[in-house]
Amino acid sequence: MAIACALLGVFLILRRDAMIGHGLAHVTFAGVALGLLLHVLPLITALAVAVLTALMIVKLKEKAGIYGDTAIAIFSSVGFALGILIISLAKGFNVDLFGYLFGDILAISVSEVWLSITLAVVIFIIIIVNYHKFLFMTFDRETAKASGVKVERLDILLTILTAITVVLGMKVVGILLVSALIVIPSASGLQIASNFKYATIVSAIIAVSSVVLGLFASVYFDFPASGSIVMISFILFLLIFTVKQLRK
């Protein structure tokens, strides 16, 4: 999952879409609340709501001609508001919801683990298969389109992959922090990369290191895993930034 986050993050940052993970995470909150209300596995309802919203964001950008960050801001607020309304409808699952908001890696069920592993592998394969097309349209959208790359379809695919990744990450680092796992390791990798392939590899290594070191830190210091993972990724970002500045 960390690798999928990093790979997607590199494309999203360069497309100026870094905040889409944050926006979709807020929408996921409504999906989780809906799942708890209907007594359905929240991962499933969150997936459905996040993917549906991802499609609406792409369509709103395309058809209404509004900026991407505006579309994200609209859906992000509406998603969170909807979540709050659902909670008020059915009282009593605030404790469960708390685990989704801030992450609770120990509370992940076996079925959720298998679903997450399967989806993460599928996401990874889809990114690798479409790697060159994603790169081309991120770098030069018009020429990619003129070369026969179906950029509109790939926009939708990339946004759906982001939605699924956000849902997978929410149990580990929580709805409020999942976008950090998409953005921070990729931002670190992009600082030092001389080419795109290297940027994706370095970002993936930083993402995996952040998760592993974060989990160790949470066990060793008895910290919450979500906070530890994000803080470790930020420390790595700062380290890279400092080394880069010193080398200048």
- Toward another protein, which CB reaches closer, 166 or 202? 202
- Toward another protein, which CB reaches closer, 82 or 144? 144
- Toward another protein, which CB reaches closer, 124 or 136? 136
Min separation Cβ 149 and another protein, Å: 6
- Toward another protein, which CB reaches closer, 89 or 132? 132
Min separation Cβ 109 and another protein, Å: 39
Min separation Cβ 199 and another protein, Å: 5
172: amino acid identity, one letter: V
Cβ atoms of residues 161 and 214 within 8 Å = no
Residues in the chain: 248
- Catalog residues that contact another protein under the rule CB under 8 A: 14, 132-133, 135-136, 139-140, 142-149, 190, 193-199
Helices H / strands E in the chain, number of each = 12, 0
User: Tokens 């409504």 sit at which residue?
Assistant: 30
* DSSP single-letter state for residue 23: H
Of 202, 231, 234, give the one whose Cα is nearest residue 215: 231
Cβ atoms of residues 27 and 75 within 8 Å = yes
